[in-house]
Structure formats: structure tokens, C-alpha cells
Amino acid sequence: MPGVDAVIFDWGGTLTRWHDVDFHAESLALAAAVRRTPTTTDDALLDDGGEHAARLLSAGEVVWGRSRDHQRSATIADLFVEAGLDHDPDLLAAFREFWEPHTATDPEVRPLLEALRADGLKVGILSNTLWPREWHVGFLERDGVYDLVDGDVYSSEIEWTKPSSHAFAAAMRAVGVDDPARCVYVGDRLYDDVWGAQQAGMRAVHVPHSRIPAGQVGHTEGVPDAVAHRLADVHAIVAGWR
């Protein structure tokens, strides 16, 4: 078994602890960004929340279904396009504030990343997300861990999502490694993270505490190479493979 050069992490539900999300409330927050102009003639576009939220909720199911079934990425702007709504990016504050309580970095992350870096390993992040890079970087900087990340990739800035091997390859390039057999991926989803990483040639560690929504469960559940019941366990698992 080859050694390990890099450990790459999922973000939501892995570096952050899992939270159940009210997707209807999320859509209402997102609807606050719909652009309204004096020339708007479509009555639905003048709606102050409910219709917009319903459109955005349906669009989210389509966009994430496309990610699940075809590994095609999307952005927040694509979500509004799918919903048939024009939006102002400067009005996304309510949406970001809705998510803020769910973005806290797990307290075990910094000591874990410090230990991995002390062992000479590269540390990366690969996340399926609609959000722009600067949001993720901002949350990681806020929590004092971004200085320990050698490279990070967010699906909103590439063409593919996990479990596509193209997404994992992008994460490898970001941390400066080229042999997937010497990479470990850590994530909370048996399809996107475990099966996807293994199809890309990596070893996969499962963090098994997330309740994945039924609509986001893929066609296959991978069998992890190891299970970390807390993030701190990852260091010992990787050390055993080295």
C-alpha cells in the first residue's frame, strides 16, 4: 500500500458539523435577492416572497439533481436562471445570514490540520457548493483555519461536482500532488465522498454523522477504507497508512 502525501476534506458536514436545514426557509431568504424594477410586468415577479421561494425551491431540486446524476456544477446565479428569476448579487445578505449559523468550523479541525501539516502532509478542501469561493474562504478565515489549507476547490468555480473524478483531480492539482493512490479524502457522504474518491483512485474516510436528504443520495454507497467517528480520529488513521 502506498504512503500518503495529502489529505483532502469535504466541507459541509465534515469540517463543519452537520445541521438539518429548513430548505423552505432557505428559499425565502434567497428570494430576498430577486430584482424588482419599475418596468416589471410579470405579476409573479412582483411577488414579495412566496412565489419566488417556491420557484427557487424547485430550481434547487433540479440543480442538485443535476449534480447528483450528471456531476454538473452550478452557481447561485444558475439557480436563479433555473427559477426564471432575475437577481441582484448585492441582495444576497439574507441568504448568507440564513446559512451563517451552519458554517462554524468544528473545534477539532485546527489541531487536526496542524498535526497533519506537522507530519509533512498537504491539506486540501473539495466542496460541492453553489456559493462563491470568497464565502467559503471568509468562513474559514473567520474561524482561524484557512492558513492551514494548502489548496481548496469549490464546485461553483469548476465544471464538475463530486463524485466526478474531474473534481477530485482538480483538488489534487490545488494541493500540488499527482498520484491519487497517495491521497486520502475525508467526507460525510457515501456516494459523493467515499464512492467518488475511490473511483478517482483515492482512499476514503467516512465521517458518519450526517443525515443526507433523500434527494441528494446517489445511486451507489461506497464502502469506506476507514471510519472516523470524530475528526480527531483522522490523524491516527492516516498515520497508520503512512
Domain boundaries along the sequence of the chain: 6-17+104-241, 23-100
Q: Helix 76-83 crosses helix 50-70 at what angle (to 10 degrees)?
A: 120
Q: Give the pLDDT confidence score for residue 161 in this predicted structure.
A: 97
What is the mean pLDDT of the segment spanning 166-175?
Answer: 98
182's CB contacts (< 8 A; 6+ apart) are 2, 3, 4, 5, 6
**What's the Cα-to-Cα distance from 120 to each of 27, 46, 85, 205, rounded to whole Å?**
43, 56, 48, 19
pTM above 0.85, yes or no: yes
Mean pLDDT of 208-220: 83
Query: Looking at domain 6-17+104-241, does it have CATH number 3.40.50.1000?
Result: yes
pLDDT at residue 49, rounded to an integer? 58
CA distances for 93 relative to 9, 34, 103, 169, 196, angstroms: 27, 12, 15, 33, 33
- Smallest Cα–Cα separation from 9: which of 233, 240, 236, 231? 231
Per-residue pLDDT at 225: 97
pLDDT for residue 144: 97
Q: What is the mean pLDDT of the chain?
A: 91
Cα pseudo-dihedral 33, 102, 217, 11, rounded to 10:
100
